[in-house]
Amino acid sequence: MLTAGCEASPGKSQHMAQADAVRGKLAIERAGCGACHDIPGIRWPKGQAGPSLQGFGDQGMIAGRLPNRPDLLAAYVRNAPATLPGTTMPRMPLTPAEARDIAAYLYAASARR
Amino acid sequence: MRTETGFDHSLYDRFPTSDPRPEGELEELERIWCAPKGWQLLTAVNNNYIGIFYVGAAFLFFLLAGILALVMRVQLALPLQGILPQETYNQFFTMHGTVMMFLFAVPMVEAIGVLLLPQMLAARDLPFPRLSAYAFWAYFVGGLCFFASLFFGLAPDGGWFMYPPYTSLTYSPGINADFWLLGIGFIEISAIAGAIEIIVGVLRTRAPGMTLDKMPVYAWAMLVLGVMIIIAFPSVILGTLLLELERAFNWPFFDPTRGGDALLWQHLFWFFGHPEVYIIFLPASGLVSMMVAAMARTPLVGHNLIVLAFLATGFISFGVWAHHMFTTGLPNLSIGFFSAASMAVSVPAGIQIFSWIATFAVGRPRFNAPTLFLLGGIVTFVVGGLTGVMVAMVPFDWQAHDSYFIVAHLHYVLLGGMVFPMFAAFYYWTPMTSRHPLSERLGKWAFWLMFAGMQVTFWPMHLTGLMGMPRRVYTYLPGREWEVTNMISSVGAFMLAAGVLLFLIDVARSFRFTTDHDAGNIYDGGTLEWLPTGLYSARSIPVVKSREPLWEDPGLAEDVKAGRYLLPGSATGLRETIVTSPLLAEPQYLQIMPGPSVWPFLAAIFTAGFFILLTIQAYTPSFTCGVLAVVCVLRWLWDTDRRVKEVTVDAGAGVRLPTYVTGPSTHGWWAMIILLIVVGMIFVMALFSFFYLFGVQSQFWQAPAPAGHLAIILPAYLAAAGLALLSRRMLAREKTEHWTPGVLYLCAAAALAAGVGADMWSWIGSGLVPEASGQGATVYALLSLEVLLVGVGVLMACYLCARNSRGMIVRPRNNSLDLCVLWVVYAAAQGSMTGVLTRLVGA
Amino acid sequence: MSGDSLIPVLTPAGPYAGSITMLAWLLIAMATAVLAIVIAALWIAFAGSDRLKSRLGGSRTIWIGGIGVPVVILTVLLVYGLSLTRNLTAPVPAETMRVRITGEMWWWRVAYLDETGQAFMIDANELHIPAGRPVLLELESNDVIHSFWVPQLSGKLDMVPGRRNTMPIQADAPGVFSGQCAEYCGGPHALMGFVVIAHEPADFDRMMTERRASRTPVLGTGAELFQRTGCAACHRIAGTKANGTAGPDLTHVGTRRSLGAGILPNNRGTLMGWIGDSQAIKPGNRMPPYKMLSAAELEAIASYLEAQR
């Protein structure tokens, strides 16, 4: 599954060493990210209050303003207001490791398609 | 006793006769009983055809409901799947249960009876062939329309027992619930018609000499089935009627804010619902008893105990219904009683299990496909019965109820107690009705797949329930390991389906329906269904001297075929069978049977049309269909009750039987009495609802209508009964004008109308309206029932007048008149009781 | 959503459930034994020695196996079962804490009652109890029939409109015990969860005192939006003008372990997602989506609700 991350979008590397996409999925379920987002591979919930994350790996930007890179994504997932002031996503109760796992999952899940 | 009806038993010694039969007698019999061809098959009424249609239709519903289950199992294999959206899944599980219970299980056991019973009793047909045809077509057409509601998203979604208030209009505003209430409501008519056939068939059309103790044990099971149906089904008929009245007209039977009670539905439903499962199990266990004896090649050990077990089960099963309500907050005293009865009802089942074990031990059983299905069924049913004892223990039920533990229990008893025996019966009895038997090899594979699949599917559900998963959930959250047991169950479901598929392949390859070139008695059974037969059943009706006539007299088959017993041909040139007495089966009279007729078929189509169109609120087409249905029924009845020119006939070897009898010993009288019992039970349940709501919500009740008005109401009913009885008396007298009985009956019907009209006027005058309270709803429901009875009475009066004007009401006694008189007398009694009892309680 | 025991019915956490579990084990043992006997008898009937077969093949087998032994077993079980039923429904001491739980489609209204039967604290979807003491539940319904079932603490009892059913529960030690509605109530019945949290009695008393203490209302954008957007029409927050009773009481929503009746974790993000569009999460539930609110407004309301402790 992790090697799928090597099948990178042109010019980007989304491979994340020491991040586990499987643990990332569990963290997503524990934190309830699906309450706002439609996340690939998460059957329920498919929240509509926030943007859909289908094909997230192909997006150039996070929230339209931040480059879509593993380190930035992990920081954003954990504390969006601090990473990108003025953003609409709230801070989430995640450890830094969980945030990295979630980022790895998002890349892996959208690359799988 | 020496004789029951005065029949001289020494006449039996004349059989088998030894003179050669006249030329052409057999050909004539075959011509008279010739089956219709092509499209005319829709008009067939003979039990061989109706039976096989019925079995086929019931099996089709089994497959359809099974497919629903497979989809449900795919959904539940993993948590949070959205293959079926919530609304659709809720409709799926409702339809799965409803179709399995109402369109498969009960119809299948009745269908097998239709096919098998006349053969087993050596009767030429069931006593009311057109009624069977009507019942079948109404069920088939109605059932298909009901199932089709799924494709329009209109299927009911309240669960197969449809508890209000969820199914009341407030929470189920669509017509989905009405599909259930009206659709299933009228399919119950089919079940009741079947029950009438079976009771009268078992008690009055047995072969001469087949006394009650020589009757096959399956016939006992079907007799108990018939009685259970007529006592239990009225409860759900009334319940569905009340819920439909609440939805359509806002009469608050189940609405606690106006004096109704949600638990009333549960009492009404489960008073039917628990006997229903024994209605499903008993005939299947009767079949098992027959097959075990045949497979073990020895008479059933403990035959009398098994008969007692049927009677005990039938009786006790009416006293256990509230075990479905242990968690509703019933008082401890009731709970204790129902718990005790629920445990007691397992004893008769145990009797049967050990009888089968003992029979296998005594005999030399063979390991073939039927035996495998029998063994699989026995083991599975025992597991289900044991978990049943577990949930009869109230504290344990408080954990297990409404969880997957119960889902496991119910499937174990249903599959073990009915489905596996059904497959055994298919393998065992196919040679009786098909040119080739089914394949032993495919049968064994089908069995092992089904048995293993069944265990893999449902055993884990015991655990799933103990793990806390409730039933009727379209999905579940992960994290509690429910996905493990659910996945196993889902895999098992497909194994089970594969077994069923193999069976279907076997049927397609081997089953070729025939009425006269069947594969024969390849398992060497001892009972009469294995006689060589044509559409007319056996060529001649034997005198029975033992419980397994073919084992006791190896030459019997040959003698019967050669016409050496009773009725070797047709005595009147029409279809006939012999009606015998209930205890000793002494021949009493010759019954003239109907041939193919289009009227029952049309009546069934229009009946189905009436109910289905009513559901989709197409009122004008619906009422048109209703009127047409009544017209078709009347046209069908018009052909009944005709005399033939021979007053008595020679039924064989000089035994003379009358061709037309009247009075309490006729099969028509019996049918009417049974029908009146059904109507009476509906009335009893309506009274129960009345007193129950008074008991729990009397604060909503006002003073009843004045008791003084009974001085008008009761004499009107008394006059009705009196006039009806008088009409009968007048017919018997020589000096009466020929139109007198009809007119008297008409006056009787008018008096009935006056009675219920006065009662209705009295209640309306008291200011009570049906929407006001539980009192209003139940009082007007009782009055409505009476109006219905009166309406039928008026219809009967018109019918009798028409017959009278054609000179068909012949003195001294006439069956049509007698039966209609019974109806009016009953209606008068019910009306009187309604008038008195509704005025007994109030503020 | 909490990771509690694997087989709750067999791992009771209190005396009521515990006595049922004991019965359950007895019944499982009985059923296993009887099944083994029947299978053994069938085996003998088909494949046993002639001597054994002839002993089995008579009506004596039926009298003993079908009547005698069952009657004995069933009588013993019945006596045990009925006396246990009586014990489980025995009245609790008068000073027992009472909580009224009302089933709604598809959530649970929880009202803690004082000695006079008045609700002094209202919450939803969660019940806090002191460990080691019985708590009497009064179960009702405002719409259709529901059923309250927390298997580690007791059997289930239905919530029937028009009736009040009572049931005691007790947890022996602190812990978290989850349950689910056990009577099909249409729609998202599958997503109607519940959780009971048992505390050390001292902790419990302290928590209740804190919660009952009068609170200074939280002010700010969230509070204003809560009123302006119409949330107050359905929801109540004690000490404010919001007094709606159609939906769950939100006075202590910030402390809840989950949202949506046990189906979502409780954090600012999930609060925003639920308010923004709860239909996408729990289709058919009675709360409409609030898609007209901007993300900033959602966040303001969510932080306001987080502060309701």
Q: Does B475 touch chain A (CB under 8 A)?
A: yes
Contact A36 C270 (CB under 8 A): yes
pLDDT score at A15? 72
Question: Over 50: is that where the pLDDT of B119 sits?
Answer: yes
Contact B163 C145 (CB under 8 A): yes
Contact B82 A29 (CB under 8 A): no
Higher pLDDT, B516 or B586: B586
Mean per-residue pLDDT of chain C:
94
Q: Measured between alpha carbons, how far is C105 from A112 in angstroms, rounded to an integer?
A: 39
Distances (CA, A) of B459 to B129, B651, C14: 43, 57, 28
Say if residues A111 and A56 touch (Cβ distance below 8 Å): no
- Amino acid identity at B709: H
Contact C65 B362 (CB under 8 A): no
Residue B508 neighbours by CB distance under 10 Å: 8
Q: What is the pLDDT of residues B237-268, one digit of tens each?
A: 999 999 999 999 999 999 999 999 999 999 99
Two structure tokens written together for B691: 């007193």
Exposed / middle / buried, residue B27 (Cβ in 10 Å: 0-12, 13-18, 19+): exposed
Question: Over 50: is that where the pLDDT of B281 sits?
Answer: yes
Confidence band of C4 (pLDDT split at 50, 70, 90): low
Contact B256 C145 (CB under 8 A): no
B599: nearest Cα among B111, B126, B129:
B129
C195 φ, ψ (degrees, to nearest 5): -140, 140
Confidence band of B184 (pLDDT split at 50, 70, 90): confident
- Nearest chain B residue to A30 by CA distance is B479
Q: What is the pLDDT of residues B346-404, one digit of tens each?
A: 999 999 999 999 999 999 888 899 999 999 999 999 999 999 999 999 999 999 999 99
Confidence band of B1 (pLDDT split at 50, 70, 90): low
Contact C270 A35 (CB under 8 A): yes
Question: Over 80: is that where the pLDDT of C103 sits?
Answer: yes
Kindly report whether the global pTM for this prediction surpasses the value 0.90. yes
Q: Measured between alpha carbons, how far is B220 from B282 in angstroms, rounded to an integer?
A: 10
Contact B402 C283 (CB under 8 A): no
ipTM above 0.85, yes or no: yes
B389: nearest Cα among B325, B320, B489:
B320
Q: Measured between alpha carbons, how far is B262 from C141 in angstroms, rounded to an integer?
A: 11
- Amino acid identity at C285: N
Mean pLDDT of B86-99: 97
Question: Over 50: is that where the pLDDT of B200 sits?
Answer: yes
Q: Measured between alpha carbons, how far is C253 from C248 in angstroms, rounded to an integer?
A: 9
Q: What is the pLDDT of residues B11-64, one digit of tens each?
A: 999 999 998 899 899 999 999 998 899 999 999 999 999 999 999 999 999 999
pLDDT score at A13? 57
pLDDT score at B675? 97
Contact A43 B80 (CB under 8 A): yes
Residue percentage of chain B with pLDDT more than 70:
100
B49: nearest Cα among B107, B144, B133:
B133
Q: Does B662 touch chain A (CB under 8 A)?
A: no
| Eight-state DSSP code of residue C109 | E
Contact A48 C276 (CB under 8 A): yes
pLDDT score at A35? 96
B210: nearest Cα among B544, B590, B548:
B544
Contacts of B697 in chain C (CB under 8 A): 162
Mean pLDDT of C131-160: 97
CB-nearest to A35 from C281, C289, C295 is C281
| Beta carbons within 8 Å of B820's beta carbon, 6+ residues apart | B724, B745, B793, B796, B797, B799, B800
pLDDT score at B807? 87
| DSSP notation for B346-407 | HHHHHHHHHHHHHHHHHS----SHHHHHHHHHHHHHHHHHHHHHHHHSHHHHHHHTTBHHHH
Q: What is the pLDDT of residues A51-75, one digit of tens each?
A: 999 988 888 899 888 999 999 999 9
Name C168's bridge partners: C136
**Which 50-89 residues of chain C touch chain B by CB within 8 A?**
53-54, 56-59, 61-62, 64-67, 70-71, 74, 77-78, 80-82, 84-86, 88-89
| Eight-state DSSP code of residue B181 | I
pLDDT score at B185? 79
Q: Which of B75, B80, B89, B475 to mutate to test the interface with A (most CBs of A within 10 A)?
A: B80
Neighbouring chains to A with at least 3 Cβ pairs closer than 8 Å: B, C
Beta strand residue intervals within chain C, DSSP E: 97-104, 107-113, 119-124, 126-130, 135-141, 146-148, 157-159, 165-169, 175-180, 193-199, 258-259, 264-265
pLDDT score at C44? 94
How far away is chain B from the Cα of C51, in angstroms, using its nearest Cα?
A: 10
What ranges in C57-179 are assigned the alpha helix state H? Answer: 59-61, 69-88
Say if residues B492 and B445 touch (Cβ distance below 8 Å): no
Mean pLDDT of C297-302: 94
Q: Which residues of chain A have pLDDT under 50?
A: 1-12
CA terminus-to-terminus distance, chain B: 56
C130: nearest Cα among C181, C206, C194, C193:
C206
CB-nearest to B398 from C155, C178, C263 is C155
Label residues C116-130 b or e (16+ Cβ within 10 Å = b). Answer: eeeeebbbbbbbbbb
Q: Does C228 touch chain A (CB under 8 A)?
A: no
Question: Over 50: is that where the pLDDT of B482 sits?
Answer: yes
Q: What is the pLDDT of residues B641-691, one digit of tens each?
A: 998 999 999 998 889 999 999 999 999 999 999 999 999 999 999 999 999
Q: Does B80 touch chain A (CB under 8 A)?
A: yes
B391: nearest Cα among B465, B485, B280:
B465
Strands A61-62 and A66-67: antiparallel
Mean pLDDT of B534-543: 90
pLDDT score at B762? 96
Q: What is the pLDDT of residues C50-64, one digit of tens each?
A: 998 988 888 899 999
Strands C165-169 and C157-159: unpaired
Angle between helices B262-296 and B369-392 (to 10 degrees): 150
Mean per-residue pLDDT of chain B:
95
Strands C264-265 and C258-259: antiparallel
Mean pLDDT of B143-172: 96
Q: Measured between alpha carbons, how far is B227 from B218 in angstroms, rounded to an integer?
A: 14
Q: Does B86 touch chain A (CB under 8 A)?
A: no
Q: Measured between alpha carbons, how far is A27 from B170 in angstroms, rounded to an integer?
A: 41
pLDDT score at C278? 96
3-state secondary structure of C129: strand
Q: Measured between alpha carbons, how far is C138 from C101 in angstroms, rounded to an integer?
A: 6
Contact C280 A89 (CB under 8 A): no
| Eight-state DSSP code of residue B470 | B
Radius of gyration of chain C (CA): 25
Angle between helices C69-88 and C15-47 (to 10 degrees): 170
CA terminus-to-terminus distance, chain A: 12
| Eight-state DSSP code of residue B535 | T
- Please name the residue that has the structure tokens 């015998």: B580
